[in-house]
Structure 1
Amino acid sequence: MNFIYRLVLTSFITMLVLLPCANGQESITLGDERSDVYIPLLKGKRVGLFSNQSGIVGDRSEGLLSSAGCGIDDKSALIPFGTTLHGRKPSYGPHIVDCLLNEGIDVRAIFSPEHGFRGIADAGENVSSGIDEKTGIPIYSLYGKRSWQLSEKIALIDVLVIDIQDVGLRYYTYYISMLSLMEECAKMGKDVVLLDRPNPNGFYIGGPVLSMDFKSGVGSLPIATAHGLTLGELAYMANEEGWLEGGVKCNLYIVKCLGYTHSTKYRLLMSPSPNLKDMKAIYLYASTCYFEGTNISLGRGTAFPFEVYGAPQMSGDYEFTPRSVQGAKNPPYKDKLCYGTSLREMPLEDIFQKGVHYDFIIDAYNRYSDKDHFFIGGGRFFDLLSGTDRIRKMIEAGESSETISHSWEKELQDYADLRNKYLLYPL
């Protein structure tokens, strides 16, 4: 029989002392900082690691915003990742792979998600497997074409460690790679140890719930667009609900964060993927990612992806020209002048209040001159991002954003009830 072990002992909770951050706020202890909990589970075992550049152990330095409103504000949300709230370069902790090796753990394999282990590949780009130059450990890319079977690589390990930063949105693909690993571990009787991290969008849920008729590489579970779960909670839900392929269940150990709640707004210090460059983009991404299914540029190839939108065929006061850059080598409308809208000045209060919505999509649709070609490929990819074709049909029929939002109220409430069963942190 398989079991889930939530490694949160009463003694750890009562002994917890929250450390102050540089901004005077209380600190969160990440799962990967709790080595006294997970290292004993790994000693003497062959270990695989699922991670990328975000797997930095500890993220305290100016990393936390309380729900009371200190910390992230409209100004600091625009500070690029790689810069602290005070304009300095942050001092990152060691990577999880280095910590494991320093503890004498036998790391046999690294598994990487979309964008690769170093997090610099384009969205959707085929990422080759290789060798980590620093450690000599083989890296197996889970995103793109593979000349090897995942089962072959899982057979080489006894336990899989997961340490990766998610952003809490259904079309953010890291969790899909995680699920494929969990499925294979379940089939082969391998343990999974997940070192949990906060969800920067974990303070709300919103958007349509995916219909499994629209399961794809950008959405594989019947969850809301903004699902309001940490990666640990999401793994817990998928494992217990029988959502892994064939209904299998893995031996899942979740090492919780300490000091985190779902009312916490957590500031990332490192970009989780190449085109999410600041916290404003992390928040807007919930509603601007839908542009990926249209002929509208969302700013890839500019300094502000997911914070602007436009096209040569649109009207608008804001102008931008996408260029070939790292993480967006061939962006839509490369080297062409686009007209549209910048969301950079949109107050955070308005973003938080609206949550997931289609206002921006409808605005662009109404201003786009060739409506027959607004959606790419007849709208299929837009439907996959939305998790349903209902939204696209309502937009084409001229329905308002408010009416569209009302259309998912019942399914979202049902999802909220399900979510509550798997919350590991207070609301």
Structure 2
Amino acid sequence: MGLNLLKNTVLFKITIGILFIVLACGNGRKSEVGSLKLEVESDSTEVENSEIIVGANRVEKYLPLLKGKHVGIVANQTSVIFEEKTEMEMKPHPSLSGQYGTFIISTSIHEHLVDSLLNSNINITKVFSPEHGFRGKADAGAHVEDGVDKKTGLPIFSLHGKNKKPTTEQLKDLDIVVFDIQDVGVRFYTYISTLHYVMEACAEQNIPVLVLDRPNPNGSYIDGPTLEKEHSSFLGMHPIPLVHGMTIGEYAQMINGEGWLANKVKADLTVIPVKNYSRDMTYSLPIRPSPNLPNDQSILLYPSLGLFEGTTINAGRGTEFQFQRYGAPYLDTMNYKFSYTPKANFGSKYPKHKGEVCYGEDLSEVKVERKFTLTYIIEAYKSYAGYSNKDKWEFFNTENFTKHAGTKKLQKQIESGKTEIEIKKTWESDLESFKKMREPYLIYNGR
């Protein structure tokens, strides 16, 4: 099984003509930390020359844990098993007139985890869906109703509707719950909050949780303000930085180990790790993890532009370049030459400044570093501060911005005119403390 859709510097490169695949194998050994049961790859694995294999693809590791059991699945559109399809075709050789050569054409296909497990005679009885729904089409923050999957007939219980934590009734008769969702490594991206509530509910009902891990595309660094307990919400439940640098499997272990579940309960947790992965690797998602993160550029910019969600600035919602541009009607046209007009579209029925011309910055073609920056929001606020008709708009929606930032301090620092360097210095000790706290829970090499 391959992941040749993932444009990763360490993945095999596919060219029409010859397909080179370098596979590396490691000897597995068992490791237990707390209540986590984990498959750890041998340190001798040649990671840099190997293909990344996500947890869901390592069927041989977890299928025995599901056989003969009533299984619940927490999943969305990213919960897939990748497969490689290779075809050979005879075509005229491009440089030798009249000569034919064999061309190997390789493409990646994927099958949803639910469909794959059903085909393997696993008894899935219920599906639980996070924000955006099971097929990933609901707007951000939208109330998602329970339903039935048209393809399989399975009942779907929304964890972003009337309840965010699975109820006792919803978990009734389940022997195990599988969690497989692609995360992007940002605290206010709500899939890790769903993970928390699933683990908590299952721990209370003595139901094991199986996490199928996937790489974190923003996993190579840690940055941003640490959430303060009094500002906990579904947009951030734990005292972690805005960018935490952990996979969802590592994060599950931290939730357990730090005693963050209600009444200090611990989930019976098993993680199936990603094979041949290091957090320093670049990783391109083959499926958008939510409607408004359509590509690599948006995912890399999301930690920085996501803060605009707590302001009156539009961050590209209502366009095809979500989290790759930002703007508002009041930004200074002398400094911001780019303009666009948000309209209702897939993933955003009511974008900010719908139908209004927004002046701002287009970042869709800019080379983006893998880091978090305050540059965009600081510059936008300066432009707002110089706007003559500020009574029409408030730049900050203080309650919402505080939930995204995890602290009230950041808004005050921006309003007071502090530079990015000055603001980031105030985070240094918290970031160092977090690095030490997360150390026991890390599964993969890298920073």
Does the alignment reach a TM-score above 0.5?
yes
Aligned equivalents of 2:230 and 2:155: distance in 1? Answer: 36
Larger helix share, 1 or 2: 1
1:321 aligned onto 2:341: yes
Q: Do 2:84 and 2:106's aligned partners in 1 also have CA atoms closer than 8 Å?
A: no
Deviations 1:212-263 (A, max 9, x none): 1110111111111110000000000010110112211010000111100011
1:52 aligned onto 2:76: yes
Aligned equivalents of 1:165 and 1:234: distance in 2? Answer: 13
Q: Which residue of 2 aligns with 1:26?
A: 50
Q: Do 2:72 and 2:176's aligned partners in 1 also have CA atoms closer than 8 Å?
A: yes
Q: Do 2:196 and 2:252's aligned partners in 1 also have CA atoms closer than 8 Å?
A: yes
Task: Give the counterpart of 1:388 among 398, 407, 417.
Answer: 407
Task: Give the counterpart of 1:297 among 314, 317, 326.
Answer: 314
> What letter is aligned with 2:444?
Y
Q: Do 1:296 and 1:374's aligned partners in 2 also have CA atoms closer than 8 Å?
A: no
Q: Do 2:84 and 2:109's aligned partners in 1 also have CA atoms closer than 8 Å?
A: no
Q: Do 2:70 and 2:173's aligned partners in 1 also have CA atoms closer than 8 Å?
A: yes
Deviations 1:18-37 (A, max 9, x none): 8x9xxxx6311111111111
Task: Give the counterpart of 2:365 among 345, 355, 364.
Answer: 345
Cα drift, residue 422 of structure 1? 1.0
Q: Which residue of 2 aligns with 1:195?
A: 212
1:359 aligned onto 2:348: no
Question: Aligned runs of 1:112-127 on 2, under 5 Å?
Answer: 112-127=129-144
Q: List alignment gaps of at least 5 residues for structure 1.
A: 62-87
Cα drift, residue 346 of structure 1? 2.5
For this pair of structures, how many residues does the alignment match? 388
Aligned equivalents of 1:178 and 1:139: distance in 2? Answer: 17
**Greater relative contact order (Cα < 8 A, sep 6+):** 1
Q: Which residue of 2 aligns with 1:79?
A: none
Aligned equivalents of 1:232 and 1:148: distance in 2? Answer: 19
Aligned equivalents of 2:353 and 2:427: distance in 1? Answer: 33
1:412 aligned onto 2:412: no
Cα drift, residue 92 of structure 1? 2.6
Cα drift, residue 302 of structure 1? 0.6
Task: Give the counterpart of 1:225 among 228, 237, 242.
Answer: 242
Q: Which residue of 2 aligns with 1:334?
A: 354
Aligned equivalents of 1:147 and 1:196: distance in 2? Answer: 21
Q: Which residue of 1 aligns with 2:444?
A: 425
Q: Do 2:223 and 2:243's aligned partners in 1 also have CA atoms closer than 8 Å?
A: yes
Q: Matched residue of 1:109: which SS?
A: strand
1:39 aligned onto 2:39: no
Q: Which residue of 2 aligns with 1:234?
A: 251
> What letter is aligned with 2:354?
K
Identical aligned residues as a percent: 41
Cα drift, residue 7 of structure 1? 2.5
Aligned equivalents of 2:197 and 2:337: distance in 1? Answer: 44
Question: How has the CA–CA distance of structure 1 residues 156 and 270 changed in structure 2, closer, same or farther, with 3 Å as cutoff?
Answer: same
Deviations 1:276-298 (A, max 9, x none): 11101100001000000001111
Question: Aligned runs of 1:132-171 on 2, under 5 Å?
Answer: 132-146=149-163, 150-171=167-188
Q: Which residue of 2 aligns with 1:243?
A: 260
Q: Do 2:46 and 2:276's aligned partners in 1 also have CA atoms closer than 8 Å?
A: no
Cα RMSD after superposing both structures? 2.3
Cα drift, residue 375 of structure 1? 3.6
Deviations 1:153-172 (A, max 9, x none): 11231100011100011010
Q: Do 2:339 and 2:359's aligned partners in 1 also have CA atoms closer than 8 Å?
A: yes
Aligned equivalents of 1:147 and 1:249: distance in 2? Answer: 19
Aligned equivalents of 1:148 and 1:242: distance in 2? Answer: 17
Q: Matched residue of 1:93: which SS?
A: strand
Which structure 1 residue ranges, 4+ long, deviate > 6 Å from structure 2?
none
Q: Matched residue of 2:110: which SS?
A: coil
Question: How has the CA–CA distance of structure 1 residues 272 and 59 changed in structure 2, closer, same or farther, with 3 Å as cutoff?
Answer: farther
Q: Matched residue of 1:58: which SS?
A: strand
Q: Matched residue of 1:237: which SS?
A: helix
Cα drift, residue 402 of structure 1? 1.4
Q: Matched residue of 2:211: which SS?
A: strand
Q: Which residue of 2 aligns with 1:307?
A: 324
1:4 aligned onto 2:30: no
> What letter is aligned with 2:373?
H
Largest Rg, 1 or 2: 2
Q: Which residue of 2 aligns with 1:77?
A: none
Cα drift, residue 97 of structure 1? 0.4
Does 89-98 or 311-320 show the bigger shift? Answer: 89-98
Question: Aligned runs of 1:76-95 on 2, under 5 Å?
Answer: 91-95=108-112
Q: Do 1:57 and 1:93's aligned partners in 2 also have CA atoms closer than 8 Å?
A: yes
TM-score after normalising by structure 2: 0.83
Aligned equivalents of 1:159 and 1:94: distance in 2? Answer: 21
Q: List alignment gaps of at least 5 residues for structure 2.
A: 1-33, 86-104
Cα drift, residue 8 of structure 1? 3.0
Cα drift, residue 91 of structure 1? 3.6
Larger strand share, 1 or 2: 2
> What letter is aligned with 2:50?
E
Q: Do 1:150 and 1:184's aligned partners in 2 also have CA atoms closer than 8 Å?
A: yes
Aligned equivalents of 1:109 and 1:252: distance in 2? Answer: 19
Task: Give the counterpart of 1:282 among 299, 302, 323.
Answer: 299
TM-score after normalising by structure 1: 0.86
